[in-house]
Amino acid sequence: MAGKAKRVLVTGGAGFIPSNFIRYLLDATPYEVVSLDALTYAGNIENLAEVMAHPRLSFVHGDIRDAALMRDVVSQVDVIVNAAAESHVEKSIIEGASEFVTTNVEGTQILLDAARESPVERFILISSSEVYGTADYAPMDEEHPLKPRSPYAATKAGADRLAYSYFVTYDLPVVIVRPFNNYGPRQHPEKVIPRFITQALAGEPLTIHGDGHASRDWLYVGDDAEAIVAIIEAELAAVAGEVLNVATGIDITISDIADLVLAALGKPRSLKVHLPERLGQVDRHIGSVDKIAERTGWRARTSFAEGLEQTAAWYRENETWWRAVLEREAERAAGRAGAPGAGASSSSAPAQRS
Ligand SMILES: NC(=O)c1ccc[n+]([C@@H]2O[C@H](COP(=O)([O-])OP(=O)(O)OC[C@H]3O[C@@H](n4cnc5c(N)ncnc54)[C@H](O)[C@@H]3O)[C@@H](O)[C@H]2O)c1
């Protein structure tokens, strides 16, 4: 590959964070990008529509659990960013954990084994701050105990530690990245910020689990993309086998987010409505940002006010996108309601998630 631009495999490429990351890779780096996605309910090929014809982007419609395909794809790339996942906390609680275990854990194992067979320069696993559970102390650094509280978080913790074991056991150049709560354009409206924005735009109530005191460290997705590139470009010795939080170091409660969204969109505060607390809820999440700054020089640079303004503007201008996603979601819910043993899912209010 000497003299050639790196080829970066981004799994889950049609999802929220990965599609924003791919745009950033194409804009800000010379890398070639292979985007791979199974196009589950969460994957939306529309997320890549304007860049699909880009000469440095190729798209593979495939599943990370397909070992033969992963061996083939991995043999052609230099860097792996494994971002494919079942990513919705509430889905893991209500619909069951099976897909979470197979995609998040087994899919990661299959990719790690493919990288053992065809060595890569770097294997970046997108883990999650949800692996920490509720903070024992704040801000949470990378040494914070892992106490995942939902099936989603437990599968992310499984993949996170599995990747680490391949560094220790096989010397695979693994970096484990734990982003805190991302928000920004193209996020599925099942997640709390786009849900609040789309509910407010539609003049519907903004539903909050519990009293809304749960807080998160909200990271603008464009800042997350910059962090992952900084990790690809850092000295290997500074990051190999390491866990790196990607966070802002500031937390904001769900209740305050609802207020900020309503204020940003000029809607009345009376649209805020409280529901019973969610099972497996995490109380407070705030990330320590010192280690990633020290190892890569990266720091988040978008303030929440700026990020929310850009996000709200995107949803205002892309109503067709989110209305189509909501329609597909309603069809999926109707399909589930008709399926055997589907009783528990009917109460599903979209969730506050990682
Ligand atoms: N959104 C957040 O705030 C956040 C925070 C921390 C970590 N993460 C992690 O970042 C990654 C991306 O999250 P997101 O919010 O963009 O999720 P997303 O649900 O929008 O995207 C996930 C993508 O993975 C694809 N996918 C699912 N199963 C697959 C499989 N078996 N094979 C191939 N593709 C598959 C889906 O089709 C989808 O396009 C995930 O690993 C998630 O756990 C997200």
CATH number at residue 240: 3.40.50.720
**Could you tell me the pLDDT band of residue 340, with boundaries at 50, 70 and 90?**
low
* Calpha distance 143→197 (Å, rounded): 34
Mean pLDDT across the stretch 147-172?
A: 97
Q: Model's pTM, two decimal places?
A: 0.93
pLDDT at 187 over 80: yes
pLDDT at 75 over 80: yes
pLDDT in tens, 246-305: 999 999 999 999 999 999 999 999 999 999 887 767 788 899 999 999 999 999 999 999
* C-alpha 105 – ligand 1 centre gap (Å): 13
Domain region containing 227: 7-186+218-249+281-304
pLDDT in tens, 5-46: 899 999 999 999 999 999 999 999 999 999 999 999 999 999
Integer angstrom CA distances of residue 239 from 164, 173, 245, 351, 354: 12, 9, 12, 33, 24
Q: Where are the alpha helices (DSSP H) in the chain?
A: 16-28, 67-74, 89-94, 98-100, 107-117, 151-170, 192-201, 221-233, 236-239, 254-264, 290-296, 304-317, 319-338
* C-alpha 21 – ligand 1 centre gap (Å): 12
The angle, 0 to 180 degrees and rounded to 10, between the axes of the packed helices 107-117 and 151-170 is 20
pLDDT at 349 over 90: no
Measured over all CA atoms, what is the biggest interatomic distance in the chain, rounded to whole angstroms? 61
Q: Looking at the domain assignment, is residue 60 inside a domain?
A: yes
Q: Looking at the domain assignment, is residue 139 inside a domain?
A: yes
**Could you tell me the pLDDT band of residue 1, with boundaries at 50, 70 and 90?**
very low
Per DSSP, the three-state class of 177 is strand
Ligand 1 atom 21 nearest Cα: 15
Closest atom, ligand 1, to C-alpha of 13: 39
User: Could you give the percent of the chain with pLDDT greater than 70?
Assistant: 94
* C-alpha 269 – ligand 1 centre gap (Å): 32
* C-alpha 308 – ligand 1 centre gap (Å): 21
Mean pLDDT across the stretch 143-150?
A: 96
Pocket test for ligand 1, best of 9, 10, 11, 17 (most atoms within 8 A of CB): 17
Mean pLDDT across the stretch 88-116?
A: 95
Residue type, 99: E
Q: Looking at the domain assignment, is residue 310 inside a domain?
A: no
* Calpha distance 232→149 (Å, rounded): 30
Q: Cα 76 to the chain's mean position, in Å? A: 25
pLDDT for the residue 344: 35
Q: Looking at the domain assignment, is residue 260 inside a domain?
A: no
* C-alpha 72 – ligand 1 centre gap (Å): 22
CA dihedral 62, 67, 70, 72 (to 10 degrees): -110
The number of folded domains in the chain is 1
pLDDT for the residue 342: 42
Q: Looking at the domain assignment, is residue 110 inside a domain?
A: yes
- Which residues have any ligand 1 atom within 6 Å of their CB? 11-12, 14-18, 37-40, 42-43, 63-65, 83-87, 103, 107, 126, 128-129, 156, 179, 181-182, 188, 354
Q: Looking at the domain assignment, is residue 341 inside a domain?
A: no
Residue 106, phi then psi, degrees to nearest 5: -65, -40
Q: Looking at the domain assignment, is residue 345 inside a domain?
A: no
**Could you tell me the pLDDT band of residue 354, with boundaries at 50, 70 and 90?**
very low
Q: Looking at the domain assignment, is residue 197 inside a domain?
A: no
Record the tokens describing residue 353, joined without a space.
Answer: 């998630």
Whether the Cβ atoms of residue 16 and residue 88 lie closer than 8 Å to each other: no
Ligand 1 atom 13 nearest Cα: 17
Closest atom, ligand 1, to C-alpha of 191: 1
